[in-house]
Amino acid sequence: MNTAHAPVLTGIARSLPAAGGIGLKPEHFREILDTQPELGFFEVHAENYMVAGGPFHHYLTRIRERYALSIHGVGLSIGGASPLDEEHLDRLAALLDRYQPESFSEHLAWSSHGGAFLNDLLPLPYHAATLDRVCAHIDRVQERLQRRMLLENPASYVEFAASTMAETEFIAEVVRRTGCGLLLDVNNVYVACVNHHRDPRAYIGALPLPAVGQIHLAGFASDVDAAGAPLLIDSHGAPVAQAVWDLYEFALEGLGPTPTLIERDNDIPALPVLLAEAYQAQRIMRKRVAATDEVCA
Amino acid sequence: MNIQSAFADALLAPEAVCPTGLLAWNGSDPGRRFAVYRNNVMVSLIDALADSYPVTQELVGEEFFAAMARLFVQAQPPRSPVLALYGEGFADFIEAFPPAVGLPYLADVARLEMRRVQAWHAADAEPLTEQELARLLADASLPLARFGLQPSLGVLRSRHAVVSLWAAHQADDVAAALAQIAVDQAEAALVLRVGLEVDITRIGEGAAAFVGGLQQGLAFGAAAGQALAVEPEFDLAATLGMLIRGGGLCSASIPGDMNS
């Protein structure tokens, strides 16, 4: 697998390399430029770069010149009952125009209500009305940004009495209607399936896998619910758990090599620690390719 | 969708309530599960404030800060998904927060920290070149010139020793540095991003009036006059030198000068 730096950017349509990537953190800006580690891509949270100028843009500009880039939104509130925030869409359009990322993704969740931004990825019930609204929002996003977006499956802690569809059924229908792609967050699959007592492999098998354009891997924290059953929390504050690596390997059987991000937003470790996790994802991808080649030979 | 209103209200409510219509697979009380969202929202926003106001946090301690920040978040949740400048109203909130009344300088320290964050993320602008500056300073019409300043530049005047307090918290031995400070000493700060760092410099009353005047669009001469009125010993050359060294002057226009 070619894990060399992204080729010189030409402005034509590109995609992320099927390699490992990590979230770009300000703590690592200088070290990345100084050491230029081999890496498939970096990912940033869109909202962190919606500022006028200063060090964030200084470093992202220089890092983007050397690496492929994924821009990941956390504030669009696609699952929200309110109309999309057009000002926020304008800011996103300007950011994507400036950095020309290979990928743009957002969440199946809501985060704004009544003018307040709640800074968390909140769950929604799955039924005909929410399906129509989510599809309308994604249509609008793709029209405004003039590109296909990837939608990320959520980690959640509660379910709704009002739901009439399974999450996978809802996601499959969104993909079918809007033509958006999927960001398969394998940690979210694991967390949600433990929290709601479902089979994570069946969950992955029920998704429209050809739509997957990127994978996220992250660590979780463990708690228990009121009955003492395990309740996993999508903390992004720990290394990827073995169960999630195993589920990742299972997902790759259906997907083939796929751009894979190591997400870490809390308790940020030293850069080499994150790079090692990205390289581990690459080793698993290579192992799967080799296994497939043997079967075909 | 009423469920979202109920969900959002319960996230920000001071007491732990759980919206109706939530389920857990094992029939357990969904309140415990809902509490994860409440905690995520509160902790992440309190952390966002702590990131922007580290000295304010050190001055009152983590526990006091978290309690105060929690009340602020409940009263004034973010209005935008862009959190870089969240908490611009925090200093006013602190000023009116009875438990903080014993620290009358706390609100101004918070104001200084928000200026610093604003400077950090402010737009980039090219300073005037040495040649441009030399030509302007030699121009007989200099008193009429109006300067455009670096977008990151800010001035803060306080009845308290806010710059000294802030600087003491950057020192290796904070307690020793704090012991030297007379907190009731009025101070003014110049906040300016130089390169990729934000500098906070203590300046005199006159310098603060001068830079503040330029910022409001006063002509050079009028701003200098305003500075001398508040501080007869105001040192124009030194203040100008400080601004120039920091790249604070970005443009200038002299009425009738076609080259400006």
pLDDT interval class at B258 (50, 70, 90): low
Residue B257, both tokens: 């000068």
Residues B4-31: pLDDT tens digits? 999 999 999 988 889 999 999 999 999 9
User: Is the predicted pLDDT of residue A116 greater than 90, yes or no?
Assistant: yes
B161 contacts B178 by C-beta, under 8 angstroms: no
Using a CB-CB cut-off of 8 Å, the residues of chain B touching A231 are: 32-33, 36
Residues B32-81: pLDDT tens digits? 999 999 999 999 999 999 999 999 999 999 999 999 999 999 999 999 99
Helix ranges (DSSP H) in chain B: 2-12, 30-52, 54-60, 62-75, 90-95, 106-121, 130-138, 162-168, 174-179, 205-215, 220-230, 236-245
pLDDT interval class at B228 (50, 70, 90): very high
Q: Tell me the shortest Cα–Cα distance from B77 to chain A, in angstroms.
A: 6
Q: What's the pLDDT at B257?
A: 62
Tell me which residue of B37, B78, B220, B26 sits closest to B141, measured CA to CA.
B220
Amino acid at B1: M
Cβ within 8 Å, pair B84-A51: yes
Mean predicted confidence (pLDDT) in A129-156: 98
CB pairs under 8 A between A and B: 150
Average pLDDT over chain B, rounded to an integer: 95
Mutation target vs A (from B2, B12, B20, B25; most A CBs, 10 A cutoff): B25
Query: B89 CB near a chain A CB, below 8 Å?
Result: no
Mean predicted confidence (pLDDT) in A144-173: 98
A50 contacts B84 by C-beta, under 8 angstroms: yes
Residue with tokens 């977006």: A149
- The 3-state DSSP class for residue B23 equals strand
Mutation target vs B (from A158, A233, A267; most B CBs, 10 A cutoff): A158
- CA distances to A121, A180, A223, B27 from A226, in Å: 22, 37, 10, 9
Answering whether pTM is above 0.80, one says yes
User: Is the predicted pLDDT of residue B259 greater than 70, yes or no?
Assistant: no
Residues B53-64: pLDDT tens digits? 999 999 999 999
C-alpha–C-alpha distance, residues A171 and A169, integer Å:
5
Q: In chain A, what are the helix, strand and coil shares in percent, each to the nearest 5? A: 45, 20, 35
Task: Give the count of alpha carbons within 13 A of A184, CB side only.
Answer: 31
ipTM of this complex: 0.94
Cβ within 8 Å, pair B33-A88: no
User: CA angle B51-B57-B59, nearest 5°?
Assistant: 150
Cβ within 8 Å, pair A227-B151: no
Query: B12 CB near a chain A CB, below 8 Å?
Result: yes
B194 contacts B122 by C-beta, under 8 angstroms: no
Cβ within 8 Å, pair B123-A226: no
Helix ranges (DSSP H) in chain A: 29-35, 55-66, 86-99, 128-145, 167-178, 186-195, 200-205, 242-255, 271-296
Q: Tell me the shortest Cα–Cα distance from B88 to chain A, in angstroms.
A: 15
- A118 vs B11, B21, B34: nearest CB: B11
Residues A242-261: pLDDT tens digits? 999 999 999 999 999 999 99
Q: Between A190 and B2, whose confidence is greater?
A: A190
Tell me which residue of A146, A55, A152, A94 sits closest to B120, measured CA to CA.
A55
